[in-house]
Amino acid sequence: MGVDPYQVLLAAIAIAIMIGVPLLCHLGFEAFCGRYEERFRRWRLEVAVNGPGYRVRDLLVHRHEVRALRRQRGVPIERLAADLRRLRRLLGQEVERSAVQQFGARMAYDQVLIQACGMLGVEQRLAEAPDGIDREVERIRVEGELENVGLVLEDRRFGQAA
């Protein structure tokens, strides 16, 4: 008493028909109604613009970026942003501080700005800018570039003017 191969084949054909026919009817009806036209049109446009295999490339790039984040060394960007906000508040209170404390706060602020620029890929020339107006202008330019990239330097609280 073994299993008859003919009956196994008939059972597989019956299952394929029971699943395949309704599935093909459903897909045919959806295609007839035009529900997939927009999705197919967008897909064809994406393939035409990005080339074949673009989803695989996007997936590989995403995996590479996630692995790079996991291997990240050094200070997190959130801590650098908090340090920049803290040092910026210190620079705003320079009237009550000695000249040495003011100079130290400016140097520390510039060093943290240089670190943040390195992490975010923003070009800066703070290291070679001479002290004075040129350095202040470069500092303001770098702050603007960092804010354009998305780093929040202003610590606005409820009730403060925008």
Q: What is the pLDDT of residues 120-153, one digit of tens each?
A: 889 999 888 888 888 999 999 999 999 998 888 8
Q: What CA–CA distance (Å, rounded) separates 95 from 145?
A: 27
DSSP 94: G
pLDDT in tens, 13-45: 999 999 999 999 988 888 777 777 777 788 788
pTM (2 d.p.): 0.54
Q: What proportion of the chain, given as a percentage, has pLDDT over 90?
A: 32
pLDDT in tens, 71-106: 777 788 889 999 999 998 888 876 777 888 888 889
Over residues 44-65, mean pLDDT: 80
Instruction: Using CB atoms within 10 Å of the CB of residue 85, give its burial: 0 to 12 exposed, 13 to 18 middle, 19+ buried.
Output: middle
Residue 142 near residue 117, CB atoms below 8 Å: yes
